[in-house]
Copies of this chain bind each other. A is one copy, B any other.
Amino acid sequence: MKNNIEEYMKRIDDVILSHLDGGHVSGTITEAGRYSIKSGGKRFRPYLLFAALDAFSTPLERGLKTAGAIEMIHTYSLIHDDLPAMDDDDLRRGNPTNHKVYGEAAAILAGDNLLTEAFQLIAGDEQLDPATRLEVIRIISNSAGHNGMIGGQMLDIEAENREISFEELEKIHKYKTGRLISAPVHTALVIAGAENHTASHLLSFSEYLGIIFQIRDDILDVTGDVKVTGKNTGSDARKDKVTYVSTFGLEGAKERMEQKVSLAEAELDAVSGTIDVTELKNVLNRFAIRDY
Contact = CB atoms under 8 A, between A and B. Distances in A.
Interface string A103-123: 111101101110111011001
Nearest to A143: B116
A72 to B, nearest CB: 11
A26 B179 CA distance: 15
A33 to B, nearest CB: 8
B131 A29 contact: no
A105 B157 contact: yes
Name which of A23, A123, A147 has the most chain B CB atoms within 10 A of its CB.
A123
A80 interface: yes
Contacts of A144: 116
Q: How many residues of A sit at the interface, in one of the four size bands?
A: 35 or more
Interface in A81-101: 83, 85-86
A154 to B, nearest CB: 4
A146 interface: yes
A150 interface: yes
Interface of A: 20, 22-26, 28-30, 33, 76, 80, 83, 85-86, 103-106, 108-109, 111-113, 115-117, 119-120, 123-124, 130-131, 133-134, 137-138, 141-142, 144-148, 150-155, 157-158, 171, 175
The 3 closest A-B pairs by CB, nearest first: A25-B151, A23-B146, A85-B104
